[in-house]
Structure 1
Amino acid sequence: MMDMLSMIKEQCVSKDNVLQISVDKILPNPFQPRKSFDGIALEEMSRSIKQYGVLQPITVRKISPTLYELIAGERRLRACKFAGLTKIPAIVVEMNDCDSAGAALVENLQREDLSFMEEAEAYNSLMALHGFTQEQIALRLGKSQSNIANKLRLLRLSDKVKRIVAENNLTERHARALLKLPDEGKQLEALKKVCDSSCNVSETEKIVENLLKEKTEKSPKRTAMLKDVRIFMNTINRAVSVMIESGINAESKQTEFEGYYEYVIKIPKNMM
């Protein structure tokens, strides 16, 4: 994948194939990993483009006789539109869906400003849409397989948890600590404490550890209580049996309901 991007740059120099293309004829890349764009940064870029022009052409591929699809340069294209320009310099290359998705991902990774969640979503997209394995992604991006796996694990978090993590600018290590908790409820409980107290990673891990201890401590108590209830039931049954063995015509009826047991014991008055 890295070699592919180098090849694109070489095409720009060797073939001089930079065209001025109407911004209205360029469709967005459906594989773009970035989900949000900094409005202030785009405004600054648009002012620069107005003054100096687009210094680095975007990269596109032709998808019909009149339309192109963006491969790399989403922010430059947006900034041009923001600046009111009608055309943008572009390099036209031949590329399939798989390589287009990979190029969009690599460009953003090289800039190192993709969020860790966007990066995880991009890896997942490469696997789901194009059948890549973790090992293949790692090889193409020059990363370790464990790095890819750790990113993908973040997608186990619910959308609500991921949104809160992003809104509060929590780090990847914060998010990974939450994965130790068994369900969304516990994760949200931990997140509230983390956000309310602006906890660092170490403090977050401690909160998670305490929540896990609470669960462990509560389980034996429930088991002990269940055993106690059975002891009480056996005691009642034994007491009724003793009365019957002593000649008392006692009767007992046990009924089990959804949330409780009901005992009805009848003892003749003339035996008391």
Structure 2
Amino acid sequence: MKRRRQAAESQEKGVQAVRLRLADIYGGMISSRLKEDAALPVLAQSIARHGLLQPIVVQENEENGRYMLVCGTRRLAACRLLGMTQIDAVQIPGRKPDAAACFLEDHFTRQTVPFLKEAALLQRAEVAEKCCLPEGEIRRRLAMLKLDEETQNAVMRGNLSLEQAEPLLDAPKSNRVEVAGIIAERNLSAEQARRLVSKSENCAEHGKRRAVRRATEEAQRLCDGLSAQGLHASLSVCAQGQGLCIQILIKNEHLSS
């Protein structure tokens, strides 16, 4: 007997959105791909915070009423790691050949070009001249070499595409590695990555203002402490060049140079 499931409001060409029990899902096209996936806990944390943004893909096994996993091995494993009992899925019709085709399509569309390695080669003028890439594409790749080594390593670890990584050029340097990790863990689109960078810039600016405010408050506490000890201390805050000058002025007849 088939397991109960919540069907979606619409169906198209046999494709159906469903909500399934994790216990009813088995297998996958590559069973051992997660053995050394150190990023799986990070993905699990992301799903815990933001939910599952992309459903897994399954096919129903009519013989036992269970569902074979077609695409989404890491997502399914992360949900199991979280102890979830149900998961959103897309059920596709067909048998093993269809599942294999779907898996390969998912695999190839997720492949990213190692653009940083391309950029390293394109630095050589003779290579750039003979390369069939348009000049604009060459410039895009060379621009990515402006990223510091740590950020470049984060891009490579996350297997980011050029489109995903380009917004990092506009991210605050102190946040680039973290932002690259988020883009990779959530597999954000280029537009989503740009929005994340914009948000990061705003947070960084807010953080700077907060740091200045804390420094001013700390200086005021120090000033109050000096006054409590009989020293006439006052705080002075003024703009100086492109920065801010915070001074504590102490006036006491017992002090001498």
TM range (shorter): 0.3 to 0.5
Higher share in strand: 2
Q: Which has the larger radius of gyration?
A: 1
TM-score, normalised via structure 1 length: 0.36
> What is the TM-score with the length of structure 2 in the denominator?
0.38
